[in-house]
Amino acid sequence: MTEHVWSYKSTSGHLAGGDLTGYKVEAIDGDIGKVDKHSDEVGDAYLVVDTGVWIFGKEVLLPASTVIQIDLEKKKIFVDRSKEQIKNAPEFHRDKHLGDAGYREELGAYYRPVTPAGGQPIV
């Protein structure tokens, strides 16, 4: 199951109903782009990030659980994945994938935290 992947962590600083459009997004190793679209829907929260020239102008879909901090003053969102992990995620096409349950399951499985027996999630 990957439902938890589509929810913001309680420690992220996310405020329901806030507009994150235009916020810069930072991976653990640098800038990846800006939020083009987002959803706050319970169990279906995500960010669509326009990567600009970083990966040839493509968009990426990040489940809300990847967000570790939102800085409202600086309009910046920090995620707990590397640029390489994000670049290697299943390819996203807005028109094809936003409403596709199969893609959502595939992406959720890719981003789900890996937990060793009795340990903390590894990201």
What digits encode the pLDDT tens for the residues 12-40?
Answer: 999 888 999 999 999 999 999 999 999 99
pLDDT at 34: 96
CATH superfamily entry for domain 3-111: PRC-barrel domain (2.30.30.240)
d(CA 63, CA 44): 8
Is 36 within 8 Å of 49 (Cβ atoms)? yes
d(CA 93, CA 83): 18
Task: Label the pairing between strands 46-50 and 24-27.
Answer: unpaired
d(CA 106, CA 32): 21
d(CA 81, CA 26): 9
83 Cβ neighbours under 8 A, 6+ residues apart: 27, 29, 30, 32, 54
What digits encode the pLDDT tens for the residues 55-77?
Answer: 777 899 999 999 999 999 999 99
d(CA 79, CA 66): 5
Domain locations along the chain: 3-111
* Overall pTM > 0.85: yes
